[in-house]
Amino acid sequence: MNGLVSLVDAKIDDTALYRETYALVVDTCGPASLKPAPKPNPPPPRAPCHNLAAAVVDLIEDGKMNTAAFVKARTAFAQACAPR
- pTM equals 0.79
Q: What confidence score (pLDDT) does residue 39 get?
A: 59
Predicted local confidence at residue 36, as pLDDT: 58
Going by C-alpha positions, the residue among 1, 6, 5 that lies closest to residue 65 is 1
Q: What is the mean pLDDT of each run of 10 residues along the chain (84 residues)?
A: 92 92 86 63 78 95 93 92 87
Answer left, alpha or beta for residue 11, where phi above 0 means left and psi between -120 and 50 means alpha.
Answer: left
Query: For residue 42, what are the contacts with CB-CB under 8 A and spacing of at least 6?
Result: none
